[in-house]
Amino acid sequence: MKNRAKPAYPIASVDHALELATLLVELGPLGVSETAEYLAVAPSTAHRLLAALVYRDFAEQGDDRRYRAGPMLQGADERPSVVLRLRTAAMPHLRELAAETGETASLQTLVGSDVRFLESIEGERLLRVGGRKGRRLPAHRVSGGLVLLAELSSQHVRDRCQHLSAIEMDELLQELAAVRQRGFAINHERAEPGVSAVAVPVRGALGRAVAALALAMPSMRLDPPSIGRSIDAMHEAARRITATISVRADGSSL
């Protein structure tokens, strides 16, 4: 066993430490810069959090200098997690989607009442939406979140979004019914002024939505023709991701 030095500083945020432990299990090995990006903290803060987890055996550093889940997480990193498999399967299709449309493509999953941006590939247009990798935003304000919430029962939506008022909840449930019927969601400047997005679900082998695929763009480019083209391209990318995650050598599926 390698020598481990006790960090000379306290953990600034228990929430960050717990989220980091979860990320190590869900995503597999992470470097300092990746950790900083996912947690939206400075690299120095990410390094300190990782060192603290190493000290308590919740993480360990490999010869490649990347960090992985440690003994206290009960060997959770011995096999690829669902999220890691999903990210791996989706990456080439995200790149193709961003290249084809010129807009910023992202892969999102539902975490409580939020969505987490697992991956984000920026389009190549001069005027474009920046990447959101690692960010967490309220699910009811983003297109990917709406797509994923639409897969849940009304009671499950109420349980996840207890912070909404009764009026807001009624409006959300009505919107989710429309999303469920048409198979895609649109966010027009609900999360950020000047930014709009469309999203479709990514389904696993059993037909349930395991993630959302979204395209974000400046609102000036969100018009009916572009929406139609974007949705067609996203549905095709989602089908390809589903085909990839549904075929595994060990016979398992998402």
pLDDT by residue (tens digit) across 132-190? 887 889 999 999 999 999 999 999 999 889 999 999 999 999 999 999 999 999 999 88
pLDDT-derived band at 11 (thresholds 50, 70, 90) equals very low
Selection from 226, 234, 191 nearest residue 98 by Cα: 234
> Read out DSSP for 156-211?
HHHHHTTTS-HHHHHHHHHHHHHHHHHT-EEEESSSSTTEEEEEEEEE-TTS-EEE
Q: Are residues 227 and 132 in the same domain?
A: yes
- CATH code for the domain of 193: 3.30.450.40
For the stretch 54-81, pLDDT in tens is 888 888 888 888 888 887 775 544 445 6
Structure tokens at 237: 């990318």
Domain's final residue, options 25, 47, 71: 71
Q: Are residues 87 and 67 in the same domain?
A: no
Residue 140 belongs to a domain: yes
Q: Are residues 95 and 187 in the same domain?
A: yes
Exposure of 104 by Cβ count < 10 A (0-12 exposed, 13-18 middle, 19+ buried)? buried
Q: Are residues 56 and 86 in the same domain?
A: no
Number of domains in the chain: 2
Asked if 232 contacts 212 with a C-beta cutoff of 8 angstroms, the reply is no
Residue 9 belongs to a domain: no
Which residue would you say has higher pLDDT here, 244 or 185? 185
- CATH code for the domain of 38: 1.10.10.10
Domain's final residue, options 48, 71, 94: 71
Q: Are residues 169 and 149 in the same domain?
A: yes
Residue 144 belongs to a domain: yes
Side chain identity at residue 25, one-letter code: V
Residue 6 belongs to a domain: no
For the stretch 188-239, pLDDT in tens is 988 889 989 999 999 987 788 889 999 999 988 888 888 888 899 999 999 9
pLDDT at 115 over 80: yes
Q: Are residues 112 and 191 in the same domain?
A: yes
- Between vectors from CA 166 to CA 163 and to CA 167, what angle results, nearest 5°? 115
Residue 100 belongs to a domain: yes
Q: Are residues 39 and 99 in the same domain?
A: no
pTM of the model: 0.70
Q: Are residues 64 and 169 in the same domain?
A: no
Q: Are residues 166 and 144 in the same domain?
A: yes
Q: Are residues 210 and 137 in the same domain?
A: yes
Domain's final residue, options 41, 71, 101: 71
In terms of residue numbers, what domain contains 20? 14-71
Residue 182 belongs to a domain: yes
**pLDDT above 90 covers what percent of the chain?**
38
Residue 253 belongs to a domain: no
Q: Are residues 242 and 209 in the same domain?
A: yes
Q: Are residues 162 and 213 in the same domain?
A: yes
Residue 29 belongs to a domain: yes
